[in-house]
Amino acid sequence: MIFFLGIFSSLIFAQTKTELKTNELQKPISEYISKNFTGYTIVKAFKVDAKGIITFDVCVSKDKNHEKLFFDKDGKFVRKESCSNECCQDTIKK
């Protein structure tokens, strides 16, 4: 029974996170970052598919400032979170 619940819960909460290269980001995302985060570098970018709902997570940094930016499927900015350097160093196995 526990085994079944483990598999069932992993299916319910399944999400796929794929690392993207900077040049693979949608134009609205790149433009938003250029306009609103001048001087920041894109450290990591991910396409997230959570049961068919596509979003994008982008980690940017400038000096000691690290931000995680969230965008919807169309590249529209949703929100940001301040984070430690570790969140920007997150690695995803392809």
Q: Indicate the number of domains in the chain.
A: 1
Residue 42 located in a structural domain: yes
Residue 88 has a pLDDT of 59
Residue 45 located in a structural domain: yes
Residue 29 located in a structural domain: yes
Spans in the chain with pLDDT lower than 50: 3-10, 91-94
Domain, as residue range, for 49: 15-88
**Residue 22 per-residue DSSP state:** G
Residue 14 has a pLDDT of 75
Residue 71 located in a structural domain: yes
Q: What is the CATH number of the domain that holds 79?
A: 3.10.450.360
Q: Is the distance from CB of 72 to CB of 47 less than 8 angstroms?
A: no
Residue 93 has a pLDDT of 34
Q: In sequence order, what are the residues at sequence separation of 6 or more whose Cβ sits closer than 8 angstroms to the Cβ of residue 53? A: 73
Residue 1 has a pLDDT of 53
Residue 9 located in a structural domain: no
The separation between CA 55 and the C-alpha centre of its own chain, rounded to angstroms, equals 7
How many CB atoms within 10 Å of residue 28? 15
